Structure formats: C-alpha cells, structure tokens
Amino acid sequence: MKREFISPVAVRLTCLLGMLLSAWPSGQAEVAQSDSADGLFALDNFLEVKIQMSPLYWDRLRYQYRDITQERQPGEAFKDNYTYLPALVSINGKSIGPVGLRKKGLIGSSSTQRPSLKIKFNFAKKGGRYLGLDRLTLNNNIQDPSLVKQYLSYKLFRKAGLPAPRCNFARVFVNGQYLGVYTNVESVRKPFLKRVFNEDKGDLYEGMINDFREGFHKTFEVKDGAGKKMKSIRRVVEALDVEGDEKIDALGRAINLDQFINFWALEIISGHWDGYNGNLNNFFVYSGKEDKRLRFIPWGTDGSLTAGNPFIGTKTTRTTNAKSILAKTVYTHPETLKHFHAALKHHLEHTWNEEEMLADLAAIHKMVGPHVIGSTKGLEFQAERIREYVKTNRPTVEEDLNGPTPEWVVPVEGQKPIIPGGGKEDANIVGNLKAKFLLEMETLNYEVDNSTDQVRFDITKKDGSKLETVSYRGQAGFPVGARWFDSPRMVLEGKLKGRPEWLRLFIGFDPEKFRHLNTLKLDHFNAKGWVSLVNEETEQFIICGMLDGEIVIDKKDIEAKPHIEGTIDADLRLWRVPSILAPEPSDKK
C-alpha cells in the first residue's frame, strides 16, 4: 500500500496553533503486507465458486432477513436471524471442504433469489483458513448493474494509501444453478486487519446508520476484539463535546485525523455517497492495540461513482455533500478545512486518473459480459453513466476548490437517527397513507408521462389534517431486459396541491412472494416501500423515509394484458420530515 498523503497544511497547523496541534498525528498509513491471498483477488482470476448444500438449508438461508424496523440496543446490529449453515465449496475446481454459508445484506442488496453470501472457512474446523483467510464475502451486485463499482472504488482508496478491501469477480453456482457474476470482496476481519495495520489485537466496529453523537453512537456493531463498552467510540464522542479550538486537539487523540480527512476526500472523489460522511452508513472503524486512535475503512461501495445524494435534504455542492458530525467539525474549522481542500487537490492530481478508470471499466466488462445472466442492457446503460461520472468528476470538485468556499448548510446536530424505528411505539411516524391503484404490468420507462386516473392517495397527517394531492402518475412492471431474479416494482406519484413537488412511492416486491401471495407486509423483506419528494421545478429528489404497513394486490388480465390492482395502508415512517407533512400550527390567542 502506498503512503497516505499528508497535507502540507498539517505541518503549518502546528506552527499556526502551537501546542494545540503538537500532538496531531502524522496520519501515515501502514504499508499493506503481501500475503498468500494476493492471487485470489487478482483481477484476471475470474473465480468459479461452486456451492453444494441441502436444498432445505438453501431455502432457509434465502428467507432469513434483518428486521430494520426494530429498535437496536447498545452494541447490537440490526436484528436478524442470519445463521451459518453447513455447505461444501469448491473454488476454481479445488474442493475447500466443509464450510459455513450464510446470507448477507441489509436493505438494498437483500434478495431471496440471488442473496449475497458469506463463506466461513472455520465453521466446521476451529482455526480453518483458506489462503490465510477465515471467510469470503460474495456480493450480488443487485444495486450495481454495472458490476464494477466496488472494484473501481476500493482500488481508488488503496491507491490513495488508505486501508480498503481487495476484490475481483466470481461466477457463483449453488446446487448446480448459476446465480451470475458476483463481486468477491475481502472480508474486514482479523486477516484484513493484520494485512493493512500489521496487527489485529484492537477493536473493530461496523457502522450502519451510526455517528459519533448522542442517539447514533451506541448501536455500532461490535466486531473482532471490541467490547460492548465501546471505549474507542466513547473517546470520539467525548472529544466532540470539547469546546473551542481544543476540540481539534482532543479529536486528534481519539481518531487519526489525517487519515480521516483523506478518507473523506476519497469518499467524495469516488462518489461513495452511501458511506460514513454521506449517509452514516457502510464503514468500519478500527482502534489498534497500541495506537488507539480510530481509523476508517470503506465498505458497501456498490452505489459509488455517483455525484448526487438522495438522502441529503438540502441542496449541496460536491464538497459539502455530507451529514456526519466529523465532516462538519473538519469543514467548519478553518485550519482543518485547509487540510481537507489540500487532500482533495492532492488526490485529484495523484490518485484520480480518468484513463485508468475507463481502461479498467472496459477490461472488466470484456471479461464478465459474456457471463451476465440475460440481457446486458443494464450493464451497458450503467457503463455509460460511469463514463459520464468519470468525465465530470474532476471539474465539479475543482469548481468548489477554485471558487468561493461553499458554506456548510446540512443540519447535523439535533437530527434523529434514521433507524431504529418500529421498536418504539410511533418513532418517526408522521401520518398515514392509503392508496388505490390499477396499473398495467409492463416494461418500466421513467422517461414517458405516466399520468393516470387509476391511482388515488388519501394522506392523513399525525395531527389529523389532510395532505391534498391533485393529479397522479403510476407504472408497474419490470426493468428493461428483466431476468428471473429481478423484482417486480411499482412507482406511484401524487402532485401536491399548490406546490411543485410530487410525493413519490417506490414499491419493490420479493419475486416469489409477489407470485404467490396477495397480501404483503411492507417490511423491506416481503415488500419495500420508499417515500420521496421530487421537485419538478428544481428536479431535486429527496428520499424522506419508508412505508410501514401492508399492500394488497390482485393480478388480473384486462383486454388480454396483465394488470395489478390493489390498495396500500401504511404509516409514513420518515426520518426527514418535509414541511408539508409537519403538523398544522395551532391557533393561539
């Protein structure tokens, strides 16, 4: 691994702030070790992974899920019933022997048809390893039809001298059925820690909707070595409570501040909006046995290479497209802001390389394209979007760096956690929505006008007042080139009376549940329901929260064409409450 960039501003900080920053860390990354698994993750090693397990176990695995509507306790992950089940695995024709296999995923990547998988080599035999690894992570790429985002983004982090997983690609078979092209990602556990930090005796935590502030920090998921007292996490929370310039000094003792600033710079350059700074999600932090300052590790980058952020409720620039407490702290301190800008400039010059990105994209698609299940239209469409991102990434970031410094506008303090939700009686519920619909099931096309008189909303706010909608759009069906595992989906929209916004509901169904059931729970497993606002004047798109209730459907033929008719009855469980859904002010004399 290359040495991580250390901004010259970091040196000047000591002179400018004297003893305040004299203890500020250099932030240099450890040199990653070569190991026996290097070849396993080589790009040209297109793996063939064959799994055999009892069909009863496979069905049990596929239908396990994490319940995101339940309250989390300190040190807990989202509640789940994921369990390792016995299986046999071969890789590139070589039998690995008995292993443990379990499902992986939270919301976007969760699937009953092609689940993401973890293979545990020490399941049947204590201390069991394969090429020094205790497990493999196979991601299904459901959120990334291009298949390449994890590979390209993790490579950028590693090129920048930051700890990040290695990855390549695998053709995955279960009981003889081909599940398609997966991304083989290095698991962030002890072998990874030993490779990138040269030690593995510290505390590892995973962040999923977590931050270092009250209401967010207690639910970091405890991983290798970490205790439930979460001392490393508490040190950061306490440092952020320090007032004035001493906050930076305290923070520099709790986290590797140089490393964090470079990590944030790479999240921006790689377009990893669903990471720590953009969405408080998809990251690990590690506190070593000797060096107890937290260091950040990226994860879940299958939504990267995207400039926007649908979870930010305010219009931002590329360098202010964040909502973490650490990002705000760095950005709003003049000296660390200089360091942050210097890191961005350095990585645009030395890490980001348009020709290299496009060459990798072309090489990967040439290799994996013939092995994609069904149509490659999704692959080709997403490739064009990535090429557009590569073209515009540098100038849009440089616009922030070369012009007036953008103001920080995203509220951080006082924001409620997105989740937990349903574990508390009515947490985040702002009203109720009832809907009726009758739509033809067809190939989805978001570019055409889908106005209809066969959709109706009835929205009651928590205070009993009504939110009026005056016109409707809707469509239901499958994406272009749909494959056997693709989810049926539906989009319903209602125009808000007297306003430029449309309230948009996106409903996705589990394919098997859709085929066999008429009533489905909106729990992000049987069916998922996202609530968003779309401003037709500014074209701003904001995800506000989710539906919590049920949908009833009836599949019928009308004029020899398949249709879906039904109703929705659900609470609006929102973590971002638009003003239109706020309670009406009461008249006070």
Given a contact cutoff of 8 angstroms between Cβ atoms, the answer to whether 209 and 419 are in contact is yes
Closest listed residue to residue 210, CA positions, set 325, 327, 333: 325
Q: What is the pLDDT along the chain (589 residues), one digit of tens a residue?
A: 444 555 443 443 434 333 333 333 334 455 567 789 999 999 999 999 999 999 999 999 999 887 666 655 555 556 667 899 999 999 999 999 899 999 997 766 678 899 999 999 999 988 899 999 999 999 999 889 999 999 999 999 999 999 999 999 999 999 999 999 999 999 999 999 999 999 999 999 999 889 998 777 888 888 877 677 789 999 999 999 999 889 999 999 999 999 999 999 999 999 999 999 999 999 999 999 999 999 999 999 999 999 988 888 667 899 999 999 999 999 999 999 999 999 999 999 999 999 999 999 999 999 999 999 988 888 998 999 999 999 999 999 999 999 999 999 998 866 655 554 444 556 689 999 999 999 999 999 888 889 999 999 999 999 999 999 999 999 999 987 788 888 999 999 999 999 999 999 999 999 989 999 999 999 888 899 999 999 999 888 889 989 999 999 999 999 999 999 999 999 999 888 888 887 766 554 4
Given a contact cutoff of 8 angstroms between Cβ atoms, the answer to whether 108 and 564 are in contact is no
**In the numeric block, which tokens belong to residue 1?**
């691994």
Question: How confident is the model at residue 35, as a pLDDT?
Answer: 85
Angle, vertex CA 520, rays to CA 423 and CA 534, nearest 5:
75
Domain ranges of the chain: 39-192, 429-581
Closest listed residue to residue 469, CA positions, set 501, 429, 510, 437: 501
DSSP string spanning 262-295?
A: HHHHHHHHTT-TTSHHHHS-SEEEEE-SS--SBE
Q: Which residues of 87-106 are buried (b: 16+ CB within 10 A; e: fewer)?
A: bebebeeeebeebbbbbbbb
Question: How confident is the model at residue 73, as a pLDDT?
Answer: 55
Question: How confident is the model at residue 99, as a pLDDT?
Answer: 97
Neighbours of 391 (CB within 10 A): 11
**In the numeric block, which tokens belong to residue 527?**
């069916």
Question: How confident is the model at residue 412, as a pLDDT?
Answer: 85
Closest listed residue to residue 248, CA positions, set 28, 19, 401: 19
Given a contact cutoff of 8 angstroms between Cβ atoms, the answer to whether 117 and 102 are in contact is yes
